[in-house]
């Protein structure tokens, strides 16, 4: 399975069953601290009971988070 200690910035992983995908924006920084208990080596990222597959490489930049967008409270949220 794709583990956090193996993922690199910009990599895109996909679930071949449902199409869910994500891009790595920041690499695992706790691997050295957690090495003693094997946290990064225990389990990987999966979806629909399957291993997430490396689809390709993106920019490593988040999309849709431009400062020009303004967040609005949801209707009926009381905010």
- Residues 60-69 have pLDDT tens digits of 777 655 555 5
- Write the pLDDT tens digit of every residue in 12-52: 999 999 999 889 888 887 655 555 556 666 667 788 988 88
- Domain with 21, as residue range(s), is 11-57
pLDDT bracket for residue 77 (50, 70, 90): low
Q: How far apart are CA 63 and CA 60, in angstroms?
A: 9
**Structural domain count of the chain:** 1
65 part of a folded domain: no
Q: Tell me how far CA of residue 15 lies from CA of 1, 8, 31, 44, 52, in angstroms.
A: 12, 18, 24, 13, 5
Is the pTM value of this prediction over 0.85?
no
- Write the pLDDT tens digit of every residue in 48-57: 988 889 998 8
63 part of a folded domain: no
């Amino acid at each position: 399975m794709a583990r956090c200690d193996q993922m690199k910035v910009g990599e895109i992983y996909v679930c071949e069953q449902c199409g869910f995908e994500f891009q790595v924006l920041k690499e695992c920084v706790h691997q050295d601290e957690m090495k003693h208990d094997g946290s990064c080596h225990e389990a990987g990222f999966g979806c629909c009971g399957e291993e997430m597959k490396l689809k390709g490489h993106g920019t490593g930049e988040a999309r849709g988070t431009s400062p020009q967008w303004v967040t609005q409270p949801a209707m009926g949220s009381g905010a």
